[in-house]
Chains A and B, each alone.
Chain A
Amino acid sequence: ETGVTQTPRHLVMGMTNKKSLKCEQHLGHNAMYWYKQSAKKPLELMFVYNFKEQTENNSVPSRFSPECPNSSHLFLHLHTLQPEDSALYLCASSQEVGGRVGQPQHFGDGTRLSIL
C-alpha cells in the first residue's frame, strides 16, 4: 500500500469516448503529478499541481485535461485520444513543490490505458 490509489486499474476506450482517471492520496501531501509511462521510454512528466494550482504542463496535448479539486484528489479527463496515447498513466504525490530540499515522490500503481 503506497498511500496513492488510482482507479480504474485498466481502461479500454475508443477514440471518440470520454473517460476520466482518478487519483487519491492519503499521505497528507500538497503536490500531485501525472506521468505517462510507455514501453522502453523513461517516465514522462505531464502535469504538476502544488496546493491545487497547476505549476507545470509539459506540452501535453489538449485531449488530456487535468483537474485538481483539492490536495488529495487528482483527475485526468480524456477525450478524443489517439492510439499512441495507449500507455500506463501514473499518479504521484510529494510533500510540496519548490521546497528547500528534495523530496521523494510516491506513486500509485497506475491505470493501463488502451485506445482502440
Chain B
Amino acid sequence: GESVGLHLPTLSVQEGDNSIINCAYSNSASDYFIWYKQESGKGPQFIIDIRSNMDKRQGQRVTVLLNKTVKHLSLQIAATQPGDSAVYFCAENSNAGGTSYGKLTFGQGTILTVHP
C-alpha cells in the first residue's frame, strides 16, 4: 500500500545549527503535504504545508522543500533552538477523484534533539 516514511528516526544538533528532517512518500497521487511538530505531552502542532504545484515554501525559520521527481519532502529549521526539540511528522494527502481530502497518511516521525 501507499505509505509515508522517514529516513532517520533521530537527529541531534547543536543550538544555532540548521536542521534538516527528511520524508519519503510513495503515493504518486499525493498533492498536499504537511509538517507537524509534537512536543512531549501535547498533540501534533501544524508547522507548514505545501501543495504539489510548489517546490518550496517558507515560513518563520522553517522551509519545506518538495521534490516530486523522487517523491521526497524535507523540513529545514534555521538557527535551531532548544525549544525546537520535539518529534516531527510529515503527512500527505492525495486528491484521488477529488474525494479523499481529509484522510492524511502520517510518517512515523523523527525525534529532533537540540543541545544547548
Chain A contacts to B: CB under 8 angstroms: 2, 4, 6, 31, 33, 40-43, 45, 48, 50, 55-56, 90, 92, 94, 96-110
Task: Give the Cβ gap from A107 to chain B, nearest Cβ, in Å.
Answer: 4
Contact of A41 among B31, B32, B103, B108 (CB under 8 A): B108
In the complex, A6 Cα to B93 Cα: how many Å? 25
User: A90 contacts B44, CB within 8 Å?
Assistant: yes
For the complex with contacts A43-B106, A48-B103, 4 further pairs of A-B residues with Cβ separation under 8 Å are A2-B45, A96-B102, A101-B32, A101-B51
The answer to whether B108 and A40 have CB atoms under 8 Å apart is yes
Nearest-Cβ distance from residue A56 to partner chain B, whole angstroms: 7
Q: How far is the CB of A96 from chain B (nearest CB, A)?
A: 7
Question: In the complex, how many residues of chain B place their beta carbon closer than 8 angstroms to a beta carbon of chain A?
Answer: 28
Residues of B near A42 (CB, < 8 A) are: 4, 89, 105-109
* A94 near B102: Cβ-Cβ < 8 Å: yes
A107–B89 alpha-carbon span in the complex (Å): 13
B59 at the interface (CB under 8 A from A): no
Contacts of A102 in B (CB 8 A): 31-32, 34, 49, 51, 93, 95, 101
Q: How far apart are A33's CB and chain B's nearest CB, in angstroms?
A: 8
A107 touching B45, Cβ below 8 Å: yes
User: Complex: how many Å from CA A92 to CA B4?
Assistant: 19
Smallest CB gap from B97: residue in A: A98
How many Å lie between the Cα of A103 and that of B100 in the bound state? 11
Q: Contacts of B104 on A, CB cut-off 8 Å? A: 45, 105
Interface: B41 (CB within 8 A): yes
Q: Which residues of B contact A109 (CB under 8 A)?
A: 41-43
State the CA gap A102–B49 with chains docked (Å): 9
B1 at the interface (CB under 8 A from A): no
**Residue in contact with A48 in the complex, picked from B45, B95, B102, CB distance below 8 Å:** B102
CB of B56 to closest CB in A, whole Å: 17
Instruction: Please judge, given known A-B contacts A42-B108, A102-B32, whether A107 and B99 are in contact too, CB under 8 Å.
Output: no
Asked if B83 CB lies within 8 Å of chain A CBs, one says: no
